[in-house]
Structure 1
Amino acid sequence: MAASNFTQDDSPTFILTGIPGLEDAHIWISIPFAAFYMTALLANFTVLSIVAKEQSLHKPMYLLICMLALSDIVTSTSFIPKALGIFWFNLKSITLAGCLTQVFFFLASATVHSGVLMIMAIDRYVAICNPLRYTSILTNARIAKLGLVCVVRAVLFILPEPVLLSRLPFCANRIMPHTYCDTMVVAKLSCGDITGSKMYGLALAFVVTGFDLTVIATSYMLIARAVLQISSKKAHQKALSTCTAHILVILMAYPPGLFYILAHRFSEGITPYVHIILANLTYLMPPMLNPIVYGVKTKELRDKVVAFIGKRCSTDVPDYKTT
Protein backbone atom coordinates (compact mmCIF):
# COMPACT_ATOMS: atom_id res chain seq x y z
CA MET A 1 0.00 0.00 0.00
CA ALA A 2 1.41 3.39 -0.94
CA ALA A 3 2.26 5.79 1.81
CA SER A 4 -0.04 8.45 0.32
CA ASN A 5 -3.07 6.19 0.84
CA PHE A 6 -2.71 6.20 4.64
CA THR A 7 -5.16 8.39 6.52
CA GLN A 8 -5.12 9.62 10.09
CA ASP A 9 -6.98 7.43 12.58
CA ASP A 10 -6.97 6.71 16.29
CA SER A 11 -5.35 3.28 16.00
CA PRO A 12 -2.79 3.37 13.19
CA THR A 13 -0.96 0.35 11.86
CA PHE A 14 2.69 0.64 10.91
CA ILE A 15 4.70 -1.31 8.35
CA LEU A 16 8.17 -2.52 9.35
CA THR A 17 10.20 -3.04 6.18
CA GLY A 18 13.07 -4.95 7.75
CA ILE A 19 16.45 -3.89 6.37
CA PRO A 20 15.89 -1.56 3.39
CA GLY A 21 18.25 -2.18 0.52
CA LEU A 22 18.90 -5.76 1.61
CA GLU A 23 15.43 -7.25 1.13
CA ASP A 24 16.77 -9.98 -1.15
CA ALA A 25 19.20 -11.04 1.56
CA HIS A 26 16.67 -11.19 4.41
CA ILE A 27 16.72 -14.97 4.54
CA TRP A 28 20.51 -15.09 4.72
CA ILE A 29 20.63 -12.32 7.33
CA SER A 30 18.05 -14.17 9.41
CA ILE A 31 20.35 -17.20 9.81
CA PRO A 32 22.95 -15.52 12.09
CA PHE A 33 20.20 -13.51 13.81
CA ALA A 34 18.29 -16.68 14.67
CA ALA A 35 21.48 -18.51 15.68
CA PHE A 36 22.55 -15.66 17.98
CA TYR A 37 19.08 -15.43 19.52
CA MET A 38 18.77 -19.17 20.16
CA THR A 39 22.29 -19.22 21.63
CA ALA A 40 21.36 -16.31 23.90
CA LEU A 41 18.21 -18.07 25.13
CA LEU A 42 19.98 -21.39 25.65
CA ALA A 43 22.97 -19.86 27.46
CA ASN A 44 20.93 -17.58 29.71
CA PHE A 45 18.35 -20.20 30.61
CA THR A 46 21.18 -22.65 31.36
CA VAL A 47 22.72 -20.14 33.78
CA LEU A 48 19.35 -19.51 35.43
CA SER A 49 18.68 -23.24 35.76
CA ILE A 50 22.07 -24.05 37.25
CA VAL A 51 22.02 -21.20 39.76
CA ALA A 52 18.46 -22.11 40.80
CA LYS A 53 19.37 -25.78 41.38
CA GLU A 54 22.77 -25.35 43.01
CA GLN A 55 22.49 -24.22 46.62
CA SER A 56 26.19 -23.31 46.66
CA LEU A 57 25.52 -20.64 44.02
CA HIS A 58 22.87 -18.84 46.03
CA LYS A 59 25.20 -15.91 46.60
CA PRO A 60 24.95 -12.19 45.74
CA MET A 61 27.24 -12.39 42.70
CA TYR A 62 25.26 -15.22 41.12
CA LEU A 63 21.94 -13.55 41.89
CA LEU A 64 23.24 -10.54 39.97
CA ILE A 65 24.28 -12.79 37.08
CA CYS A 66 20.72 -14.18 37.06
CA MET A 67 19.28 -10.65 37.00
CA LEU A 68 21.54 -9.86 34.07
CA ALA A 69 20.42 -13.04 32.31
CA LEU A 70 16.74 -12.18 32.79
CA SER A 71 17.21 -8.67 31.42
CA ASP A 72 19.12 -10.08 28.45
CA ILE A 73 16.31 -12.55 27.69
CA VAL A 74 13.68 -9.80 27.78
CA THR A 75 15.78 -7.40 25.71
CA SER A 76 16.47 -9.85 22.89
CA THR A 77 12.94 -11.30 22.95
CA SER A 78 11.39 -7.84 22.70
CA PHE A 79 12.63 -7.35 19.13
CA ILE A 80 14.25 -10.42 17.54
CA PRO A 81 11.06 -12.56 17.10
CA LYS A 82 9.43 -9.67 15.21
CA ALA A 83 12.52 -9.25 13.05
CA LEU A 84 12.52 -12.97 12.23
CA GLY A 85 8.80 -12.76 11.44
CA ILE A 86 9.62 -10.07 8.88
CA PHE A 87 12.51 -12.05 7.39
CA TRP A 88 10.74 -15.41 7.23
CA PHE A 89 7.01 -14.76 6.87
CA ASN A 90 6.80 -11.15 5.65
CA LEU A 91 4.87 -10.19 8.81
CA LYS A 92 5.56 -6.49 8.51
CA SER A 93 2.49 -4.87 10.07
CA ILE A 94 2.33 -3.82 13.71
CA THR A 95 -0.31 -1.81 15.54
CA LEU A 96 0.44 1.32 17.53
CA ALA A 97 -0.29 -0.57 20.77
CA GLY A 98 2.05 -3.37 19.75
CA CYS A 99 4.70 -0.87 18.76
CA LEU A 100 4.51 1.03 22.06
CA THR A 101 4.57 -2.24 24.01
CA GLN A 102 7.73 -3.25 22.16
CA VAL A 103 9.30 0.16 22.86
CA PHE A 104 8.52 -0.11 26.58
CA PHE A 105 9.86 -3.63 27.14
CA PHE A 106 12.92 -3.01 24.98
CA LEU A 107 13.93 0.20 26.75
CA ALA A 108 12.91 -1.00 30.24
CA SER A 109 14.94 -4.21 30.01
CA ALA A 110 17.94 -2.30 28.67
CA THR A 111 17.63 0.11 31.61
CA VAL A 112 17.44 -2.78 34.08
CA HIS A 113 20.53 -4.25 32.40
CA SER A 114 22.42 -1.01 32.99
CA GLY A 115 21.29 -0.89 36.61
CA VAL A 116 22.43 -4.46 37.25
CA LEU A 117 25.87 -3.67 35.80
CA MET A 118 26.06 -0.75 38.22
CA ILE A 119 25.20 -2.99 41.19
CA MET A 120 27.79 -5.50 39.99
CA ALA A 121 30.42 -2.75 40.12
CA ILE A 122 29.46 -2.00 43.71
CA ASP A 123 29.59 -5.73 44.45
CA ARG A 124 33.14 -5.95 43.07
CA TYR A 125 34.17 -2.88 45.08
CA VAL A 126 32.94 -4.37 48.36
CA ALA A 127 34.45 -7.78 47.55
CA ILE A 128 37.91 -6.32 46.91
CA CYS A 129 38.06 -3.27 49.18
CA ASN A 130 36.08 -4.58 52.15
CA PRO A 131 36.17 -8.39 51.91
CA LEU A 132 35.73 -9.06 55.63
CA ARG A 133 32.36 -7.30 55.66
CA TYR A 134 31.21 -8.51 52.24
CA THR A 135 28.70 -11.07 53.52
CA SER A 136 27.20 -8.62 56.00
CA ILE A 137 26.99 -5.68 53.56
CA LEU A 138 25.74 -7.51 50.46
CA THR A 139 23.26 -10.13 51.59
CA ASN A 140 20.96 -11.97 49.19
CA ALA A 141 18.00 -10.00 50.55
CA ARG A 142 19.76 -6.69 49.95
CA ILE A 143 20.72 -7.69 46.42
CA ALA A 144 17.10 -8.65 45.73
CA LYS A 145 15.94 -5.24 46.99
CA LEU A 146 18.49 -3.47 44.80
CA GLY A 147 17.27 -5.52 41.83
CA LEU A 148 13.70 -4.46 42.58
CA VAL A 149 14.83 -0.84 42.70
CA CYS A 150 16.34 -1.30 39.21
CA VAL A 151 13.02 -2.60 37.90
CA VAL A 152 10.99 0.20 39.51
CA ARG A 153 13.46 2.80 38.23
CA ALA A 154 13.20 1.38 34.71
CA VAL A 155 9.39 1.46 34.75
CA LEU A 156 9.22 5.03 36.12
CA PHE A 157 11.81 6.41 33.70
CA ILE A 158 10.75 4.50 30.58
CA LEU A 159 6.94 4.67 30.86
CA PRO A 160 6.77 8.35 29.78
CA GLU A 161 8.47 7.47 26.47
CA PRO A 162 5.64 5.36 24.98
CA VAL A 163 3.11 7.74 26.57
CA LEU A 164 4.67 10.68 24.70
CA LEU A 165 4.69 8.67 21.46
CA SER A 166 1.04 7.66 21.91
CA ARG A 167 0.02 11.34 21.98
CA LEU A 168 1.62 12.09 18.62
CA PRO A 169 -0.58 12.26 15.49
CA PHE A 170 0.38 9.87 12.67
CA CYS A 171 -1.05 11.21 9.44
CA ALA A 172 0.55 9.97 6.26
CA ASN A 173 3.64 7.82 5.99
CA ARG A 174 3.57 4.86 8.40
CA ILE A 175 6.32 2.83 6.79
CA MET A 176 9.22 2.25 9.18
CA PRO A 177 12.56 1.27 7.61
CA HIS A 178 13.55 -0.91 10.54
CA THR A 179 13.17 -4.40 12.03
CA TYR A 180 11.55 -3.16 15.25
CA CYS A 181 9.87 -0.07 16.69
CA ASP A 182 12.75 2.18 17.55
CA THR A 183 11.69 5.30 19.48
CA MET A 184 13.10 7.83 17.04
CA VAL A 185 11.93 5.92 13.98
CA VAL A 186 8.37 5.99 15.33
CA ALA A 187 8.62 9.66 16.31
CA LYS A 188 9.86 10.69 12.86
CA LEU A 189 6.67 9.26 11.28
CA SER A 190 4.55 11.76 13.19
CA CYS A 191 3.21 14.90 11.55
CA GLY A 192 3.25 16.64 14.95
CA ASP A 193 5.94 18.20 17.11
CA ILE A 194 8.36 15.49 18.29
CA THR A 195 10.65 17.82 20.25
CA GLY A 196 9.36 16.56 23.61
CA SER A 197 9.87 12.89 22.76
CA LYS A 198 13.27 13.54 21.20
CA MET A 199 14.57 15.58 24.14
CA TYR A 200 13.19 13.15 26.72
CA GLY A 201 14.83 10.20 25.01
CA LEU A 202 18.16 11.98 24.81
CA ALA A 203 17.96 13.19 28.42
CA LEU A 204 16.99 9.69 29.53
CA ALA A 205 20.02 8.16 27.84
CA PHE A 206 22.42 10.61 29.46
CA VAL A 207 20.80 10.79 32.91
CA VAL A 208 20.29 7.06 33.49
CA THR A 209 23.36 5.84 31.62
CA GLY A 210 25.42 8.75 32.92
CA PHE A 211 24.51 7.97 36.53
CA ASP A 212 25.22 4.26 36.14
CA LEU A 213 28.55 4.89 34.40
CA THR A 214 29.56 7.39 37.09
CA VAL A 215 28.94 4.84 39.83
CA ILE A 216 30.79 2.15 37.84
CA ALA A 217 33.75 4.44 37.15
CA THR A 218 33.91 5.54 40.80
CA SER A 219 33.83 1.92 41.99
CA TYR A 220 36.69 0.94 39.71
CA MET A 221 38.77 3.98 40.64
CA LEU A 222 38.44 2.99 44.30
CA ILE A 223 39.27 -0.61 43.40
CA ALA A 224 42.36 0.51 41.46
CA ARG A 225 43.52 2.70 44.36
CA ALA A 226 43.08 -0.17 46.83
CA VAL A 227 44.88 -2.67 44.59
CA LEU A 228 47.81 -0.30 43.93
CA GLN A 229 48.37 -0.01 47.67
CA ILE A 230 49.00 -3.76 47.83
CA SER A 231 52.52 -4.83 46.91
CA SER A 232 51.69 -8.46 46.21
CA LYS A 233 51.52 -9.30 42.51
CA LYS A 234 49.38 -12.29 43.34
CA ALA A 235 46.80 -9.99 44.94
CA HIS A 236 46.87 -7.80 41.83
CA GLN A 237 46.19 -10.79 39.59
CA LYS A 238 43.40 -12.01 41.84
CA ALA A 239 41.69 -8.60 41.81
CA LEU A 240 42.03 -8.38 38.03
CA SER A 241 40.62 -11.89 37.64
CA THR A 242 37.69 -10.98 39.90
CA CYS A 243 36.79 -7.97 37.75
CA THR A 244 37.62 -9.25 34.25
CA ALA A 245 34.19 -10.69 33.43
CA HIS A 246 32.38 -7.57 34.61
CA ILE A 247 34.71 -5.27 32.65
CA LEU A 248 34.18 -7.30 29.46
CA VAL A 249 30.40 -7.15 29.88
CA ILE A 250 30.58 -3.37 30.41
CA LEU A 251 32.64 -2.93 27.24
CA MET A 252 30.10 -4.96 25.26
CA ALA A 253 27.17 -2.97 26.64
CA TYR A 254 27.95 0.74 26.87
CA PRO A 255 30.22 1.81 23.96
CA PRO A 256 28.09 0.21 21.17
CA GLY A 257 24.84 1.37 22.80
CA LEU A 258 25.98 4.97 23.23
CA PHE A 259 27.39 5.04 19.70
CA TYR A 260 24.07 3.80 18.31
CA ILE A 261 22.03 6.38 20.26
CA LEU A 262 24.24 9.29 19.21
CA ALA A 263 24.54 8.13 15.60
CA HIS A 264 20.77 7.78 15.33
CA ARG A 265 20.19 11.34 16.48
CA PHE A 266 23.10 13.25 15.01
CA SER A 267 24.50 11.36 12.04
CA GLU A 268 22.85 11.53 8.65
CA GLY A 269 25.74 10.01 6.70
CA ILE A 270 25.38 6.39 7.81
CA THR A 271 23.87 4.06 5.22
CA PRO A 272 20.41 2.97 6.50
CA TYR A 273 21.04 -0.78 6.33
CA VAL A 274 24.36 -0.39 8.20
CA HIS A 275 22.57 1.55 10.91
CA ILE A 276 19.78 -1.04 11.26
CA ILE A 277 22.14 -4.03 11.35
CA LEU A 278 24.22 -2.21 13.95
CA ALA A 279 21.09 -1.53 16.00
CA ASN A 280 20.16 -5.21 16.04
CA LEU A 281 23.65 -6.49 16.81
CA THR A 282 24.15 -3.87 19.55
CA TYR A 283 21.31 -5.39 21.56
CA LEU A 284 21.64 -9.00 20.38
CA MET A 285 25.33 -9.75 20.90
CA PRO A 286 25.53 -8.94 24.66
CA PRO A 287 22.65 -11.32 25.58
CA MET A 288 24.49 -14.08 23.72
CA LEU A 289 27.99 -13.31 25.03
CA ASN A 290 27.31 -12.26 28.64
CA PRO A 291 26.51 -15.75 30.00
CA ILE A 292 29.43 -17.18 28.04
CA VAL A 293 31.81 -14.60 29.55
CA TYR A 294 30.61 -15.29 33.08
CA GLY A 295 30.57 -19.02 32.45
CA VAL A 296 34.20 -18.96 31.32
CA LYS A 297 35.59 -16.39 33.75
CA THR A 298 33.77 -17.45 36.94
CA LYS A 299 35.35 -20.71 38.12
CA GLU A 300 32.54 -21.87 40.41
CA LEU A 301 29.90 -21.28 37.75
CA ARG A 302 32.13 -22.78 35.06
CA ASP A 303 32.58 -25.97 37.07
CA LYS A 304 28.84 -26.29 37.58
CA VAL A 305 28.14 -25.69 33.88
CA VAL A 306 30.71 -28.33 32.86
CA ALA A 307 29.23 -30.79 35.36
CA PHE A 308 25.72 -30.02 34.11
CA ILE A 309 26.69 -30.53 30.45
CA GLY A 310 28.59 -33.72 31.32
CA LYS A 311 25.60 -35.08 33.18
CA ARG A 312 23.24 -34.25 30.31
CA CYS A 313 25.53 -35.88 27.78
CA SER A 314 25.92 -39.03 29.87
CA THR A 315 22.15 -39.41 30.26
CA ASP A 316 21.59 -38.88 26.53
CA VAL A 317 24.05 -41.61 25.51
CA PRO A 318 22.20 -44.93 25.18
CA ASP A 319 23.48 -47.90 27.15
CA TYR A 320 24.37 -50.69 24.72
CA LYS A 321 25.58 -53.10 27.40
CA THR A 322 24.01 -56.49 27.28
CA THR A 323 23.67 -58.90 30.14
Structure 2
Amino acid sequence: MKTLTYLFSVTLCCFGLYVLETEGNMFNVYNVASRIQEISTFVSAIGDAGLKNNLTGSSQFTLFAPTNEAFNELPANVKNNKTLMKSIVMYHITKGMLTHKRILDDSTVDSLLQGAKLRLNKYGFQSFALPTICITGVNADYFDVHASNGIIYILEKVIYPFPKQNAYEVAARSTDFSTLSFLLVKDKLDALLKNAPHVTVFAPTNKAFQNVPSKTMSNLLSNQTALDNVLKFHVLQSTYYTAAIPRRSGKLVLTTESTKRVTFYTGEDGVLYVDEAKVLTSNITLTNGVLHIIDKVLIPH
Protein backbone atom coordinates (compact mmCIF):
# COMPACT_ATOMS: atom_id res chain seq x y z
CA MET A 1 0.00 0.00 0.00
CA LYS A 2 1.28 3.47 -0.87
CA THR A 3 1.79 6.01 1.88
CA LEU A 4 1.89 9.79 1.89
CA THR A 5 4.35 11.97 3.75
CA TYR A 6 2.56 14.65 5.79
CA LEU A 7 4.08 17.51 7.72
CA PHE A 8 1.12 17.70 10.13
CA SER A 9 -1.39 15.40 11.82
CA VAL A 10 -4.22 13.78 9.91
CA THR A 11 -7.02 11.42 10.77
CA LEU A 12 -7.27 8.22 8.75
CA CYS A 13 -10.61 6.78 7.74
CA CYS A 14 -11.82 4.17 5.29
CA PHE A 15 -12.69 6.68 2.57
CA GLY A 16 -9.57 8.80 2.51
CA LEU A 17 -7.44 11.11 4.59
CA TYR A 18 -9.22 13.77 6.57
CA VAL A 19 -7.28 16.76 7.84
CA LEU A 20 -7.91 17.75 11.44
CA GLU A 21 -9.84 21.00 11.65
CA THR A 22 -8.07 23.99 13.15
CA GLU A 23 -8.98 27.57 13.90
CA GLY A 24 -9.23 30.02 11.02
CA ASN A 25 -8.08 29.06 7.57
CA MET A 26 -4.60 27.80 8.47
CA PHE A 27 -5.44 24.48 6.85
CA ASN A 28 -6.95 25.83 3.65
CA VAL A 29 -6.57 23.70 0.55
CA TYR A 30 -3.30 25.36 -0.48
CA ASN A 31 -1.73 24.92 2.95
CA VAL A 32 -2.83 21.29 3.15
CA ALA A 33 -1.39 20.60 -0.30
CA SER A 34 1.87 22.31 0.64
CA ARG A 35 2.28 19.86 3.51
CA ILE A 36 2.11 16.77 1.30
CA GLN A 37 5.65 16.21 0.08
CA GLU A 38 4.62 13.96 -2.82
CA ILE A 39 2.86 16.86 -4.61
CA SER A 40 5.34 19.66 -3.89
CA THR A 41 5.97 20.23 -7.62
CA PHE A 42 2.27 20.86 -8.19
CA VAL A 43 2.17 23.25 -5.24
CA SER A 44 5.15 25.17 -6.63
CA ALA A 45 3.43 25.33 -10.01
CA ILE A 46 0.33 26.80 -8.32
CA GLY A 47 2.49 29.60 -6.95
CA ASP A 48 4.22 30.16 -10.29
CA ALA A 49 0.80 30.38 -11.96
CA GLY A 50 -0.30 33.10 -9.52
CA LEU A 51 -3.13 31.00 -8.10
CA LYS A 52 -2.05 30.75 -4.46
CA ASN A 53 -4.28 33.60 -3.26
CA ASN A 54 -7.30 32.04 -4.96
CA LEU A 55 -6.87 28.86 -2.92
CA THR A 56 -6.23 30.46 0.47
CA GLY A 57 -9.48 32.43 0.70
CA SER A 58 -13.03 31.39 1.48
CA SER A 59 -13.89 30.07 -1.99
CA GLN A 60 -14.01 26.29 -2.35
CA PHE A 61 -11.87 24.27 -4.74
CA THR A 62 -11.01 20.68 -5.57
CA LEU A 63 -7.42 19.97 -6.58
CA PHE A 64 -6.47 17.02 -8.76
CA ALA A 65 -2.78 17.05 -7.89
CA PRO A 66 -0.30 14.92 -9.88
CA THR A 67 2.66 13.51 -7.98
CA ASN A 68 6.18 14.88 -8.31
CA GLU A 69 7.13 11.75 -10.23
CA ALA A 70 4.32 12.44 -12.70
CA PHE A 71 5.58 15.97 -13.33
CA ASN A 72 9.11 14.65 -13.83
CA GLU A 73 7.82 12.58 -16.75
CA LEU A 74 6.69 15.68 -18.67
CA PRO A 75 8.95 16.72 -21.58
CA ALA A 76 11.39 19.51 -20.77
CA ASN A 77 9.81 21.83 -23.36
CA VAL A 78 6.50 21.53 -21.48
CA LYS A 79 7.97 22.05 -18.01
CA ASN A 80 9.93 25.09 -19.20
CA ASN A 81 6.90 26.74 -20.84
CA LYS A 82 5.38 28.98 -18.14
CA THR A 83 2.20 29.69 -20.11
CA LEU A 84 1.58 26.02 -20.78
CA MET A 85 2.36 25.04 -17.18
CA LYS A 86 -0.18 27.59 -15.95
CA SER A 87 -2.78 26.02 -18.25
CA ILE A 88 -1.89 22.56 -16.93
CA VAL A 89 -2.30 23.71 -13.32
CA MET A 90 -5.64 25.39 -14.08
CA TYR A 91 -6.87 22.23 -15.82
CA HIS A 92 -6.24 20.27 -12.61
CA ILE A 93 -8.46 22.49 -10.44
CA THR A 94 -12.24 22.83 -10.31
CA LYS A 95 -14.51 24.98 -8.16
CA GLY A 96 -16.40 23.46 -5.23
CA MET A 97 -15.70 20.64 -2.76
CA LEU A 98 -16.07 17.42 -4.72
CA THR A 99 -15.73 14.34 -2.52
CA HIS A 100 -15.68 10.93 -4.19
CA LYS A 101 -19.22 10.25 -2.95
CA ARG A 102 -20.47 13.25 -4.93
CA ILE A 103 -18.86 12.08 -8.16
CA LEU A 104 -21.32 10.68 -10.67
CA ASP A 105 -19.81 8.18 -13.08
CA ASP A 106 -19.36 9.59 -16.59
CA SER A 107 -19.94 13.17 -15.50
CA THR A 108 -17.98 16.30 -16.41
CA VAL A 109 -17.06 19.44 -14.50
CA ASP A 110 -15.53 22.72 -15.61
CA SER A 111 -11.87 23.18 -14.79
CA LEU A 112 -10.38 26.61 -14.12
CA LEU A 113 -8.96 26.51 -17.65
CA GLN A 114 -11.56 28.30 -19.75
CA GLY A 115 -13.61 25.97 -21.93
CA ALA A 116 -11.87 22.82 -20.70
CA LYS A 117 -13.86 20.16 -18.88
CA LEU A 118 -12.67 17.31 -16.68
CA ARG A 119 -14.26 13.89 -17.16
CA LEU A 120 -15.03 12.02 -13.93
CA ASN A 121 -15.40 8.25 -13.81
CA LYS A 122 -16.08 6.07 -10.80
CA TYR A 123 -15.65 2.34 -11.35
CA GLY A 124 -16.45 -0.52 -8.99
CA PHE A 125 -18.65 1.63 -6.75
CA GLN A 126 -21.27 -1.12 -6.54
CA SER A 127 -18.87 -3.47 -4.76
CA PHE A 128 -17.75 -3.41 -1.13
CA ALA A 129 -14.24 -2.28 -2.09
CA LEU A 130 -13.29 1.36 -2.53
CA PRO A 131 -14.10 2.61 -6.04
CA THR A 132 -11.50 3.45 -8.66
CA ILE A 133 -11.65 7.17 -9.39
CA CYS A 134 -10.47 8.40 -12.80
CA ILE A 135 -10.05 12.05 -13.71
CA THR A 136 -9.97 12.41 -17.50
CA GLY A 137 -8.58 8.89 -17.64
CA VAL A 138 -5.95 9.29 -14.92
CA ASN A 139 -6.27 7.21 -11.76
CA ALA A 140 -6.44 8.90 -8.37
CA ASP A 141 -4.07 7.12 -5.96
CA TYR A 142 -5.70 8.98 -3.06
CA PHE A 143 -8.90 10.96 -2.74
CA ASP A 144 -10.90 12.92 -0.18
CA VAL A 145 -7.97 14.70 1.45
CA HIS A 146 -9.98 17.38 3.24
CA ALA A 147 -9.14 21.02 3.88
CA SER A 148 -11.21 23.85 5.32
CA ASN A 149 -12.15 25.08 1.84
CA GLY A 150 -11.47 22.16 -0.45
CA ILE A 151 -10.67 18.59 -1.34
CA ILE A 152 -7.48 17.09 -2.77
CA TYR A 153 -7.10 14.07 -5.03
CA ILE A 154 -3.61 12.77 -5.80
CA LEU A 155 -3.15 11.58 -9.39
CA GLU A 156 -0.62 9.11 -10.74
CA LYS A 157 -0.11 11.12 -13.95
CA VAL A 158 -0.41 14.66 -15.27
CA ILE A 159 -3.47 15.08 -17.48
CA TYR A 160 -1.65 16.22 -20.60
CA PRO A 161 -2.09 16.74 -23.49
CA PHE A 162 -5.61 18.06 -23.00
CA PRO A 163 -8.35 16.33 -25.01
CA LYS A 164 -9.30 18.50 -27.99
CA GLN A 165 -10.98 16.11 -30.44
CA ASN A 166 -14.17 14.05 -30.35
CA ALA A 167 -14.25 10.39 -31.34
CA TYR A 168 -14.96 10.98 -35.01
CA GLU A 169 -12.33 13.72 -35.34
CA VAL A 170 -9.63 11.39 -34.02
CA ALA A 171 -10.59 8.76 -36.61
CA ALA A 172 -10.98 11.22 -39.48
CA ARG A 173 -7.72 13.08 -38.88
CA SER A 174 -5.47 10.03 -38.58
CA THR A 175 -4.17 8.15 -41.61
CA ASP A 176 -4.28 4.97 -39.50
CA PHE A 177 -8.09 5.08 -39.46
CA SER A 178 -8.97 6.15 -43.01
CA THR A 179 -10.95 2.96 -43.63
CA LEU A 180 -12.82 3.27 -40.34
CA SER A 181 -13.69 6.92 -40.91
CA PHE A 182 -14.89 6.16 -44.47
CA LEU A 183 -17.17 3.40 -43.19
CA LEU A 184 -18.48 5.55 -40.33
CA VAL A 185 -19.61 8.19 -42.82
CA LYS A 186 -21.06 5.54 -45.14
CA ASP A 187 -23.08 4.13 -42.23
CA LYS A 188 -23.96 7.63 -40.94
CA LEU A 189 -22.53 6.64 -37.58
CA ASP A 190 -20.15 9.60 -37.65
CA ALA A 191 -22.86 11.82 -36.14
CA LEU A 192 -23.04 9.64 -33.03
CA LEU A 193 -19.27 9.78 -32.54
CA LYS A 194 -19.32 13.55 -32.95
CA ASN A 195 -22.29 14.36 -30.75
CA ALA A 196 -22.71 11.67 -28.08
CA PRO A 197 -21.49 13.04 -24.72
CA HIS A 198 -20.00 9.74 -23.53
CA VAL A 199 -18.50 7.14 -25.87
CA THR A 200 -16.01 4.30 -25.89
CA VAL A 201 -14.66 3.36 -29.31
CA PHE A 202 -12.66 0.23 -30.08
CA ALA A 203 -11.00 1.48 -33.26
CA PRO A 204 -9.57 -1.03 -35.77
CA THR A 205 -6.59 0.17 -37.79
CA ASN A 206 -6.43 0.13 -41.59
CA LYS A 207 -4.31 -3.03 -41.33
CA ALA A 208 -7.06 -4.66 -39.28
CA PHE A 209 -9.55 -4.00 -42.08
CA GLN A 210 -7.06 -5.31 -44.67
CA ASN A 211 -7.01 -8.62 -42.78
CA VAL A 212 -10.78 -9.04 -43.01
CA PRO A 213 -11.62 -11.80 -45.56
CA SER A 214 -12.52 -10.26 -48.93
CA LYS A 215 -15.94 -11.94 -48.97
CA THR A 216 -16.80 -10.50 -45.56
CA MET A 217 -15.53 -7.06 -46.54
CA SER A 218 -17.55 -7.09 -49.77
CA ASN A 219 -20.65 -7.94 -47.77
CA LEU A 220 -20.04 -5.02 -45.41
CA LEU A 221 -19.70 -2.61 -48.32
CA SER A 222 -22.86 -3.82 -50.03
CA ASN A 223 -25.08 -4.65 -47.03
CA GLN A 224 -25.96 -1.60 -44.92
CA THR A 225 -27.43 -3.68 -42.10
CA ALA A 226 -24.32 -5.85 -41.83
CA LEU A 227 -22.07 -2.78 -41.83
CA ASP A 228 -24.19 -1.07 -39.19
CA ASN A 229 -24.06 -4.13 -36.93
CA VAL A 230 -20.29 -4.45 -37.22
CA LEU A 231 -19.51 -0.77 -36.64
CA LYS A 232 -21.90 -0.51 -33.69
CA PHE A 233 -20.18 -3.57 -32.22
CA HIS A 234 -17.16 -1.27 -31.73
CA VAL A 235 -19.02 1.56 -29.97
CA LEU A 236 -20.54 2.08 -26.52
CA GLN A 237 -22.35 5.12 -25.16
CA SER A 238 -20.44 5.09 -21.87
CA THR A 239 -16.80 5.80 -21.06
CA TYR A 240 -14.66 2.80 -20.16
CA TYR A 241 -11.00 3.40 -19.54
CA THR A 242 -8.84 0.38 -18.74
CA ALA A 243 -9.24 1.28 -15.06
CA ALA A 244 -12.82 -0.01 -15.33
CA ILE A 245 -11.56 -3.59 -15.67
CA PRO A 246 -11.99 -5.24 -12.24
CA ARG A 247 -8.66 -6.13 -10.66
CA ARG A 248 -9.89 -9.41 -9.23
CA SER A 249 -11.51 -10.98 -12.30
CA GLY A 250 -9.58 -9.03 -14.92
CA LYS A 251 -12.65 -9.04 -17.17
CA LEU A 252 -15.36 -6.54 -18.00
CA VAL A 253 -18.38 -7.52 -20.10
CA LEU A 254 -19.88 -4.58 -21.98
CA THR A 255 -23.00 -4.14 -24.10
CA THR A 256 -22.26 -2.31 -27.34
CA GLU A 257 -24.48 -0.15 -29.53
CA SER A 258 -25.27 -3.28 -31.57
CA THR A 259 -26.80 -4.74 -28.34
CA LYS A 260 -24.19 -7.52 -28.58
CA ARG A 261 -21.65 -7.93 -25.80
CA VAL A 262 -17.87 -7.74 -25.86
CA THR A 263 -15.37 -8.69 -23.17
CA PHE A 264 -12.69 -6.15 -22.28
CA TYR A 265 -9.99 -7.98 -20.35
CA THR A 266 -6.36 -8.53 -19.45
CA GLY A 267 -5.06 -11.81 -20.87
CA GLU A 268 -2.76 -14.26 -19.12
CA ASP A 269 0.06 -12.73 -21.17
CA GLY A 270 -0.62 -9.36 -19.54
CA VAL A 271 -1.93 -7.90 -22.81
CA LEU A 272 -5.25 -6.07 -23.07
CA TYR A 273 -7.89 -7.59 -25.33
CA VAL A 274 -11.38 -6.88 -26.59
CA ASP A 275 -12.74 -10.33 -27.41
CA GLU A 276 -10.04 -11.74 -29.73
CA ALA A 277 -8.56 -8.35 -30.71
CA LYS A 278 -5.41 -7.03 -29.04
CA VAL A 279 -5.47 -3.48 -27.75
CA LEU A 280 -2.52 -1.75 -29.42
CA THR A 281 -2.97 1.60 -27.66
CA SER A 282 -5.38 2.23 -24.80
CA ASN A 283 -6.95 5.22 -23.09
CA ILE A 284 -6.79 7.85 -25.83
CA THR A 285 -8.85 10.56 -24.17
CA LEU A 286 -11.46 12.36 -26.25
CA THR A 287 -13.59 15.40 -25.56
CA ASN A 288 -16.51 12.98 -25.41
CA GLY A 289 -14.99 9.78 -24.06
CA VAL A 290 -12.16 7.37 -24.80
CA LEU A 291 -10.74 5.45 -27.77
CA HIS A 292 -8.76 2.21 -27.74
CA ILE A 293 -6.87 1.12 -30.87
CA ILE A 294 -7.27 -2.58 -31.73
CA ASP A 295 -5.57 -4.89 -34.23
CA LYS A 296 -8.65 -6.76 -35.49
CA VAL A 297 -12.14 -5.95 -36.70
CA LEU A 298 -14.70 -7.34 -34.27
CA ILE A 299 -17.40 -9.40 -35.99
CA PRO A 300 -20.53 -10.08 -33.90
CA HIS A 301 -21.59 -13.71 -33.79
- The verdict on a shared fold, with TM-score over 0.5 as the criterion, is no
Using structure 1 for the length normalisation, give the TM-score. 0.23
Using structure 2 for the length normalisation, give the TM-score. 0.24
More strand by share: 2
Higher relative contact order (CA 8 A, sep 6+): 1
More helix by share: 1
